[in-house]
Amino acid sequence: MARTSSPKRVAVTGAALLSPVGNDLDSSWHALLDGRSGVGPITRFDASAQKTSIAAEVKGFSPENYLDKKAVKRFDLFIQYAVAAAKMAMADSGLAVDESLALKVGCAMGCGLGGLATIEANHEVLLSRGPDRVSPFFVPMMIGNMAPGQIAIELGVKGPNLMVSTACAAGTHAVGWAFQQIRDNGYTAMIAGGAEAVITPLAVAGFNALKALSTRNDAPEKASRPFDKDRDGFVIGEGAGVIVLEEWEHAVARGAKIYAEAAGFGASSDAYHMTAPPENGEGAIAAMRAALEDAAICGLAPTDIGYINAHGTSTDLNDLIETVAIKSTFGEHAYKLAVSSTKSMTGHLLGAAGGLEAVISVMALYDGMLPPTINLDEPGPGCDLDYVPNVSRKVKVKAAMSNSFGFGGTNGCLIFKAV
């Protein structure tokens, strides 16, 4: 596809959430506005020997509603989540993909760890029953790119197909790349977001070994508490968030519902540490500034940002340094905008977080409602912004920002504009 001579406007015409607080967009969104936590005891495996025995699981998901029974058996749960969310988002958009459009529609998904549950299960088979008993579907069941690959197969989209694996920034990077394909490279539409499903013994043990997880096992719904002085780590979550991005004139011509305009994307690297951000937040600042510079094409100024869906993991370093970065980026305007972390309710979906939170940011603009940061009883030292504590807020803002920062120092930032 040839590069366009001038940037195209990009609309968000479809959205889907498959989350720890609901199995579709409507139920998830209203649960978030109600401040409901999706965190509870782990049911996927016996977690009694783990330091952390809580997680934010998707509940009551029926993959047979989105895939045939044979396909369900052949795909890891994260692929099932990805396909389900993509189908819901496309149905919401009303975009019909025929042969004339197929090559102009692509898919980009983010995922941090891929089919870890499938890897663990087949490794156990290898050790206990021998190499000949490993599933012939093992590799396609678990590799990350099978998520966008199967979405393409199911929906008949033949444009660029990409899996992004940049830790907890993956979903944001996937949406940002997809946005650029429409704005700059002439594609008509992109299905973009993230999916993750790694509530497994090895993942929980690994994050515990890093001392990254909350151990508030006696009160799961209060465990994820971004920006609060008593935060003690993140809560691992799972699910998917997907949006449909579409060239503006194409969307308008077919009478599509437009949730928001995709306006800016920025990315950066800390080049600092495997897991910790620099104390001055320079990597996060660079990503936010790059997104703001990008959004200037749509006529947005930094003071137009009225809401930030923060990365806000509920870890000591992240919450403080993200606050520092927001203040450095926006100056005095930082105290005039609202910031919230919906991870307080969904937990941290790792590679899927950016997809989920892009949808939430779009819905905040579309619905004129800002979701809260629950469990924020007393802000921690240095956390002095307006974090929309505990109760959602009805307010129309002009533009929203969504932040994602990942291990390895990889950062991403998206900006959406109200319409």
pLDDT along the chain (419 residues), means of 10: 74 98 98 98 97 98 94 94 98 96 98 96 96 94 95 97 97 98 97 98 96 97 98 98 98 98 97 87 96 97 98 96 98 98 98 98 98 98 98 98 95 98
- Beta bridge partners, 107, equal 161, 191
Residue 401's nearest CA partner among 315, 341, 324, 319 is 341
- The strand order across the sheet containing 10-18 reads 161-164, 105-110, 189-196, 239-247, 10-18, 260-269, 410-417, 399-406, 305-309, 338-340
- Side chain identity at 100, as an amino acid letter? S
- Beta bridge partners, 191, equal 107, 244
Give the per-residue pLDDT at 6: 84
Could you give the angle at which helices 316-330 and 282-295 cross, rounded to 10 degrees? 40
Residue count (the chain) = 419
Write out the two tokens for 173.
């990077």
Give the per-residue pLDDT at 4: 58
Give the per-residue pLDDT at 27: 98
| CA R_g for the chain | 20
In whole angstroms, give the CA distance from residue 374 to residue 344: 6
Q: Is 185 exposed, middle or buried (0-12, 13-18, 19+ CB in 10 A)?
A: middle
CA atoms within 13 A on the CB side of 136: 0
DSSP state of 60: S
- Please report, for residues 54, 93, 151, 252, 375, the alpha-carbon distance to residue 16 in angstroms, rounded to integers and kept in the order given: 25, 10, 14, 21, 26
For 114-247, strand residue ranges (E) read 161-164, 189-196, 239-247
Residue 308's nearest CA partner among 297, 299, 294, 319 is 319
Residue 405's nearest CA partner among 306, 290, 285 is 285
Where are the domains positioned within the chain?
11-417
The residues that are catalytic are 168, 311, 348
Considering Cα of 343, then 346, then 347, then 351, what sign does the dihedral take? Answer: negative
Q: Which fold has domain 11-417?
A: Peroxisomal Thiolase; Chain A, domain 1 (3.40.47)
- Beta bridge partners, 262, equal 10, 416
Predicted TM-score (pTM) of the model is: 0.96
For tokens 């990889």, name the residue.
Answer: 410
Give the per-residue pLDDT at 1: 52
Rounded to 5°, the CA angle 402-403-406 comes to 145
Assign residue 368 a region: left if phi > 0, alpha if psi is -120 to 50, beta otherwise?
left
Rounded to 5°, the CA angle 407-410-414 comes to 125
